[in-house]
Chains A and B, each alone.
Chain A
Amino acid sequence: MILAAALDSAVAIASRRANRLGSSVYAGRSLVMVERSLMALKTSNWFAVLSGFVEPVFYLASFGFGLGGLVGNVSEGGSASVSYATFIAPALLATSAMNGAIYDSTWNVYFKMHFGKIYHGILATSMGALDVALGEIVWALLRGLAYAIGFMCIVYPLGLVPSTWGLLAIPAAVLIAFGFASFGMAITSYMKSFQQMDWVNFIMLPMFLFSGTFYPLDVYPSWLQTVIQALPLYQAISMERAIMLGQFDASLLWHVLYFVVMIASGLVFTTRRLTALFMR
């Protein structure tokens, strides 16, 4: 009897959604992907997980407290001057969120796509491509969020966040991680070889070094400033710095909009690409 009810359900579950908009790509079960990742968590490489987190912490220790002693206070634009460690902490928090999100959405996704053939199996069920895309992106964003929270747990007690409002940096980190995860998975879905995957690292390092992470952007000529302002990590750093230093103004909304667009376009491209790869 139980069985009969369940037969109904596999088919009934799918037919309940049948007439909804987008039912061919979305079954409303993206969280099952997160469930899968939780199950797989115990077999993951904890050293790799940890190393992604400690990297920004090491930068904070060496640059913020080591180099920071030589640098003294810093001020950007017209804002009040703050200690060097306080200045770079928001940038490193943004980088933490990015690192966590990128790691899962690029290398792990690449492996599942080309070696594990995991998505093949999943898309043979009543799941849709958007379920897979969204689920994997949410998982990657959770990792970014975890890194950001971990980083906050270090910098807040150290007094590097002047106002309690600075804790809003955590929800902002969700947005940042979501954006990078979405964009990262979209790019990865177009990658065909390990060589191409290396480009990700090749782009990440300079972006980390030059996005206003360690010094204000006004040291650059204006054309270069424009280029850097277009980069996602600059947007992330700039948003986190404004929040953690308490400079709330309308420019924050532009950063938010930037990430909303990044998230949406990443989702659209990933879904299209997964459909093209596995369903066509």
Chain B
Amino acid sequence: MISGVKSTNNAMGRLLHLMSDSQLHNGVPSMISARNLTKEYGDFTAVDHISFEVPRGEAFGLLGPNGAGKSTTMRMIAATLARTDGELAILGKEPNAQGPEIRAHLGVVPQQDNLDSELKVHENLMIYGRYFGLSRKFLKGKIDELLDFAQLQDKRDSKVNELSGGMKRRLTIARALINEPEILMLDEPTTGLDPQARHILWDRLFRLKELGVTLILTTHYMDEAEQLCDRLIVMDKGRIMAEGTPANLIREYSSREVLEVRFGSNKNAEVAEQIQGIGERIDVLPDRILVYAESGEGALEELTRRGLEPLTSLVRRSSLEDVFLRLTGRSLVE
């Protein structure tokens, strides 16, 4: 275990050296630049004139409910989906014309694992490197390094189907790093993983970020976005609803604290009228009422003063989930 950690650090050190190296002879100002990026499928507009820039080394998040256009945007960036309109440049290159070149710069972790189930763990990494045209000699060393990084060294000869969900994800991430990409694209990287597996994955992604790899990720987990993203856009129905750092978004679109109270499903609407004026804003959800306030405790006191007795109450800090609710009028995971 100790030797594993040691060699990981060593490998990462070498990787770091490499990253700073490549930065020197690359004068491109931003890794990704989208202007009025649009994708239409017939009458349906999946992505509707969105614009954003991602500088080198940033962890950039795309948030939104299912069907918001996150994956479509990801695929356009990954040069595997032609855009309908607008401008898009990845490392200054044009994806419609320079697809293979752009893809050589990228590591892609798709929403659904598409590991090669006919091949063993190490063979999956080998053949993926070969797809990029890399030599077997180089790949042998690289595979060792990546198996350490993904903590899969003792699974190298296993079949893919014998791996757990978390291990498969880690292998998919290792696979995406085989060409030493400058941009790593992750589409809902931790969906379906248990909490422990998620934390291991976050730790690995943190390390990559520290090494200067630009991360682009979609998620509908708020905690994930707050943990990993330097900056994010909130998408809904193909549009950008808001853009900023997690902290700024919370400051701008929500209060400092939130009081959650439950009065029972039938009474929520009725009670809602009686608590008007408490806090900055009130949201009535089917199962609970959210009171946005500078002080949650203060709001709760005011509530009791008005003679209202909630079944349960909870005071918490505002999160991105609240921002999302405010912006789209619905919760993220529907």
Contact = CB atoms under 8 A, between A and B. Distances in A.
Interface of A: 2-7, 9-11, 13-15, 17-18, 23-24, 27, 29, 32, 35-36, 39-40, 43-44, 116-118, 120-128, 278-280
Interface residues of B, number: 45
Interface of B: 14-15, 17-18, 21-22, 78, 80-82, 97-101, 103-106, 108, 110, 112, 114-119, 123, 126-128, 130-135, 138, 141-142, 175, 179-181
A24 B141 CA distance: 30
B141 A10 contact: no
18 contacts: A2-B138, A5-B138, A7-B18, A9-B133, A9-B135, A11-B101, A14-B100, A14-B103, A18-B98, A32-B133, A43-B119, A116-B118, A118-B114, A121-B110, A122-B131, A124-B103, A125-B179, A126-B103
Contacts of B128: 121, 125
Given A6-B180, A118-B114, A124-B110, A13 B123 contact: no
A3 B110 contact: no
A278 B101 CA distance: 17
A96 to B, nearest CB: 25
B119 A125 contact: no
Given A124-B78, A124-B103, A127-B131, A4 B114 contact: no
Contacts of B81: 279-280
A18 B105 CA distance: 14
Nearest to B127: A36
A11 B91 CA distance: 12
B108 A3 contact: no
Contacts of A7: 18, 21-22, 180
A24 B115 CA distance: 24
Given A39-B127, A125-B128, A280-B82, A27 B100 contact: yes
A232 to B, nearest CB: 29
Contacts of A40: 116, 118-119
Nearest to A31: B130
A44 B119 CA distance: 11
A6 B134 contact: yes
Contacts of A279: 80-82, 99
A9 B105 CA distance: 10
A27 B99 CA distance: 11
A17 B103 CA distance: 13
A36 B117 CA distance: 12
A13 B114 contact: no
B127 A35 contact: yes
B15 A13 contact: no
A73 to B, nearest CB: 48
A126 to B, nearest CB: 4
A24 B99 contact: yes
A18 B117 contact: no
A197 B141 CA distance: 42
A28 to B, nearest CB: 8
A11 B25 CA distance: 14
Given A6-B142, A121-B116, A280-B82, A35 B130 contact: yes
Most buried by A among B22, B123, B133: B133
Given A10-B104, A14-B100, A36-B127, A3 B15 contact: yes
Contacts of B181: 10
Given A14-B133, A23-B100, A32-B131, 13 more contacts: A7-B22, A7-B180, A10-B132, A10-B134, A10-B180, A13-B133, A24-B99, A29-B133, A32-B133, A44-B118, A117-B114, A121-B114, A124-B108
Nearest to B172: A121
Contacts of A116: 114, 116-118
Nearest to A108: B118
Given A32-B130, A32-B131, A40-B118, A17 B110 contact: no
Nearest to A40: B118
Contacts of B141: 2
The 9 A-B residue pairs with the shortest CB-CB distance, nearest first, are A14-B104, A10-B179, A117-B114, A40-B118, A125-B131, A13-B133, A126-B100, A126-B104, A124-B108
Contacts of A11: 101, 104-105
A29 B131 contact: yes
A13 B18 CA distance: 18
Contacts of B101: 11, 14-15, 18, 126
A73 B80 CA distance: 60
Contact of A128 (B82, B100, B112, B116): B100
